[in-house]
Structure formats: C-alpha cells, structure tokens
Structure 1
C-alpha cells in the first residue's frame, strides 16, 4: 500500500507544541497499513469517539472534548490524511468507517457513543449502520446532505484548496479570521497552525464524496438512539434537508442551533455544546446494549448496504 509520510504534509513544530496544552494522551492504532492517531482524554466514563470535519485535525476539537469529560471519555480521531495520521489510498465513506472501527477495536472501547461533525457526521452514520462494532448511540452535527441529484456542496473545492495553499505558505490567525471572523481566537490560531497537516488528496477525495456519496443512502437506517444537530442558518443542512431527514428517520431527534451556520460549535459554542451535552445525556440515560443482542434492527448476516426495510 502506498502511504505518504505525515512529514510531507508540513506538520509544523508550533503545531506539535500545541499538544502540550491539551489534557489528552496520544494513542495510536493501525487500520490495515495505515497508522492512525487519536487524542484520548481518559477516565472511566463511557467512551465517546469524536470524528472531525474535512479540514479539522483532532486537536481542533479540543475545546469541545474538554467540556465533555464529566460525561464521557472523549477520544478524538485524526481522520486519515489529517493531523498525525497517515494518508492512505482512498477517502470514501466506508474506508473512513473502517478506520473508525479499527480505532474502537484497537483501543478496546466498549459500546462507545459516536459524535461527528460535518464529514465526521457522515462517517458516524456509516459506522452505526455497518454495525461491525457495537456502538451505544450517535450524535450527528450538520452532516453534508449534498450528493447525486442534490446539488453541489456549498463550499467549493477551490475555496478549500485556497485555504490549504495559504496554510502551506504560512498563515496566521488574522488571515484565518478573514474566512472565519466569528470564531474564538484560540480556534483561529489552532486552524492557522494545523491546517497544513491536511493532505490535499484527502480534501479533494472527501469533497468529491460530498457530491457523489449520498448521506440519505445511510441515514434512514441509522439505528436509535440518534440525534441530528444542525445550524439554524446552515447552508449545508437546509430547511428542506431537515424536513427530509425527519421523514427518512422519524425515530431520530433533530435540534437546530440558533445563530449557527455549518460550523455550529465555532459559531455558537455555548448553545451547541448545551445541545450536544443534552443529546449525549439522553443516550447515556438509556440502558447500555446487551452484548448478546445486535445493535441494529438488521438480522445477523444482513448486508446493511442492501437492506431496504424501513423502521417504524
């Protein structure tokens, strides 16, 4: 398997130094031939696997993870092609799901909850439906609902590539603030230092997936408990998208975050974190899954990608 070393993605010394300020331990697992890095916040509480977005290395989710350590044990994945994880050869949803399953198995995370933002929300949906590992529930935050026949993803590939080019040239928080003016200053600084750790191939492949892989191929079969958080002003999860999501998976809980666009935790951190904590608490209030019982309504041996049954 071809694998591009992390060093080719310009992980800056200043970025690595940020890890000293994060109350988490670096953990490593393998997914096939790929080495994956994650930030593990530790503790004896139920594990929560956090899956970031298209250009969000694990450390950029630190401000979320550290606010949840009284509820869960957050483990934030550097998705392949980002942060300190290897690149890999492909960047489609089921490959990302295999990496997440490898993380859960490799770290021995029993019945973890899943939480993903944007790209990570799509990955969480696929992991939950595939049911290759047992999960306790999922919270999806503003998953891209673009796809075949649904129009383009609202942020162009050119915009992502321009930001990557700025990062590799050398950027700072002030330049990041041009694109993300309302973000907290620390988050602008982290993005400035860590964006260059994102592989262009990973961004291109994921953006292509946003327009060629349909979230709604998976969403109707995501088992409960599941919650979908979305920005009230998000161009990614529009009002029509919310309506379709509600119809397609009526057992799911949907919650809009006032004053937030797609980057809901950066745009409206207080309201978004409150909604996330509430969703996680709801999942945790339910009985943990029975190890002898399948986690989904699919029969053993059924391929979730072809099962067309609708849940009540």
Structure 2
C-alpha cells in the first residue's frame, strides 16, 4: 500500500506517525522543529488522511506499509516517531525489520493489549455526523457534542471533517470493525535491540508502571521520560518539552 506522505528537511531520515483518527498534520509542530536537522517524512496511515482504504487494519499491515514507504523512498535506516496507535505501528515495524530502523520514539503508548474500550462515544459521534449528513463544521460539532463531551477531542476530530457523503478523512467503518486489533497487541517476533525512547504524559493512563516488564522484554534498551502536567496528547499540550526530548534523542542516535 502506497501511503500518502509529506517530506521536508535534510539529514538523517525520520518518519513521523500519527495516532487513531489522526493524519500527518497532527505532528506538524514536531515536523517544523525537526526539519532543521533531519529529513522528515510525515505519513498518513492506512484508512487515515489521504492514504488508501483497506478492510485490513492490523499492526503488521501498518508496519509493512511504513517499511514499504521507507524502501520506496530509499531511506537509509530511518528513525521512527509514533504517537498512540502510531507508536504501536512503529514498534511493530522495528520488530519486523530491526536492521531497517535506526531507533524509535514512542509517545504515550505501551506495547500491550488494552482491555478497556476507550472510544465508544467517539465512534458513536462520528457515525451520527455521517447519518446526519452534516454540511459544515458547525453542524458536525453540534452532532458530535451529543456524544463527545470534551471540546478538545471534538476539535481534534473535526480537523478531519469534510463536508459530503463520507464526512471524515478516515475510514470509520474499517476502524470500528478492526478496533479489537487497534486496542490489542500481538507482541514482537523478537526483542528490538536498538535505542528506544518512551515519552509519557504524567496525567495519561496509557503508559503505566505495570507495563514496564513488557516494555523491557520487548525493548531491552528502552529509556523513558515523563512530561509533567500533560495527558495523552502530550505533543499538543506541551510541545516545547516534547519536541526537545524527541530532538535530543534523535541527535543522539544520528
């Protein structure tokens, strides 16, 4: 699958990978900060943004997409940075092709299966907007607000709103059908021995102390940093701190 991407800068190649319901625009702030030093490739994952749609939505498939893009662009052992679902995608890419990945930054995600369903209200709101045939963002937000209480989450979702029959730049049906895969984690075929930085938002419950044994088992050389007073969207809530941690790590492995 040929992913949609955007590329700027020069130097060591770095791939930036967004999370669920996102697009390559989500990491624009990090892209701007890094492109002064690195060759930055931001991507739309399958079923997101302008990348192709598919009924298959597994971490193996997402990882293969990233590795295929790296090969097509003839990247020399890129580092990969992934947030949330994108974090799992880059972890799997490193597990499947360890010699093709220089190092990883994983933003607020653990290599574990999450048992709790966290997005029922979001899926209900997205489908309600489709069913209502909302023609503009104001109409879409009014419908979305009936299901999604947090204004910041609504604004994040509305970045991918388009007026028309489909309404969203991500494939709602495919994501809902594959939600068990997205929340799950099959594990790596073998531990990734390269450098890895996990960055946690202090107020988030996605990366917790009880996940440390599984992190160490799959990524023996992993390090961790915590950004205080940040939640799951740490790159948007504390951009300066986040960008600095990522940049320093990438410079250390370049």
Aligned partner of residue 89 in structure 1, secondary structure: coil
Equivalent residue number for residue 302 of structure 1: none
Deviations, residues 127-146 of structure 1 (Å, cap 9, x unaligned): 11111762211111112555
Task: Give me the TM-score of the superposition, normalised by structure 2.
Answer: 0.82
Distance 1:210 1:37 in 2: 20
Residues 1:199 and 2:151 aligned together: no
Asked if the contact 2:111/2:215 (under 8 Å) is kept, the reply is no
Give the direction of change, closer, same or farther, for the CA distance of 1:250–1:91 in structure 2 (3 Å limit).
Answer: same
Asked if the contact 2:191/2:220 (under 8 Å) is kept, the reply is no
Distance 1:241 1:213 in 2: 13
Give the gaps of 5 or more residues in structure 1: 1-30, 285-312
Distance 1:167 1:283 in 2: 44
Asked if the contact 1:78/1:85 (under 8 Å) is kept, the reply is yes
Asked if the contact 1:146/1:210 (under 8 Å) is kept, the reply is no
Give the direction of change, closer, same or farther, for the CA distance of 1:205–1:145 in structure 2 (3 Å limit).
Answer: farther
TM alignment of 1:1-312, pairs within 5 A:
31=1, 35-41=2-8, 43-131=9-97, 134-147=100-113, 151-153=115-117, 155-156=118-119, 158-165=120-127, 168=130, 169=134, 170-172=136-138, 179-181=150-152, 188=155, 191-195=157-161, 196-214=168-186, 217-218=187-188, 221-242=191-212, 244-246=214-216, 249-284=219-254
Distance 1:268 1:219 in 2: 34
Q: Which runs of 4+ in 1 moved over 4 A?
A: 172-178
Asked if the contact 1:220/1:249 (under 8 Å) is kept, the reply is no
Aligned partner of residue 114 in structure 1, secondary structure: strand
Give the gaps of 5 or more residues in structure 2: 162-167
Deviations, residues 184-241 of structure 1 (Å, cap 9, x unaligned): xxx94x7423151010133224521134324xx2297122111111111112112322
Equivalent residue number for residue 165 of structure 2: none
Give the direction of change, closer, same or farther, for the CA distance of 1:249–1:111 in structure 2 (3 Å limit).
Answer: closer
The Cα shift of 1:247 comes to 6.0
Give the direction of change, closer, same or farther, for the CA distance of 1:134–1:249 in structure 2 (3 Å limit).
Answer: closer
Q: Count how many residue pairs are aligned between Structure 1 and Structure 2.
A: 239
Give the direction of change, closer, same or farther, for the CA distance of 1:44–1:272 in structure 2 (3 Å limit).
Answer: closer
RMSD: 2.8
